[in-house]
Amino acid sequence: MSEQTPVVSAELVAPLYQARGWVRAAGVAIIFHGLLLGMTQIGLLLAWVPVWLGIVAFGIANAAESAHESDDPASVTLMNRRLRLFFQILAALAIVGLVFGFAFLVLGGGDGGMGPDRMPAPGAPPAQ
């Protein structure tokens, strides 16, 4: 029995190839977000993650182009691996963001200094 090389279906690669411009635009936006985050005190620690995510998005677009132009199964595998990495990083960021957001609310940081105990009574003169 002879071993056949799998043929890459153009239908498999076409949607991501057609969206490669949007993937690159998203990559630019994510990198820009990381740079803005890096300008904050706390953001200095985490700014590299969105920048990395944006770079991975560019890699996805490049791999989609390569897979579309070459019909090489290895290119499709690379594209899929980069997609998997993108979603793994995105999921980790979402989980970390939810944990920190919930901790912020539980620890009382979400009332902005105007909780019910700090609100003026109805009819009271404004504070000066």
pLDDT at residue number 60: 95
Cα separation, 64 vs 96, in Å, equals 29
The pLDDT, as a whole number, for residue 64 is: 92
More confident residue, 59 or 40: 59
Please give the C-alpha separations between residue 100 and each of 4, 12, 75, 103, in angstroms, as whole numbers. 51, 38, 38, 5
Here the tokens at position 25 are 């635009």
pLDDT, mean over the chain: 84
Position 6 confidence tier, pLDDT thresholds 50, 70, 90: low
Q: How far apart are CA 52 and CA 85, in angstroms?
A: 10
Summarize pLDDT for 73-120 with one digit per residue, the tens.
Answer: 888 899 999 999 999 999 999 998 899 888 888 786 665 555 555 666
- Parse the chain into domains and list their residue ranges: 11-107
Phi, psi dihedrals of residue 127, rounded to the nearest 5°: -70, 145
Long-range CB contact pairs, 69-72, < 8 A, 24+ = 71/7, 71/8, 71/10, 72/8
What's the confidence (pLDDT) of residue 25? 97
Does 51 score more than 90 pLDDT? yes
Taking the C-alpha atoms of residue 23 and residue 128, their distance in angstroms, rounded to an integer, is: 52
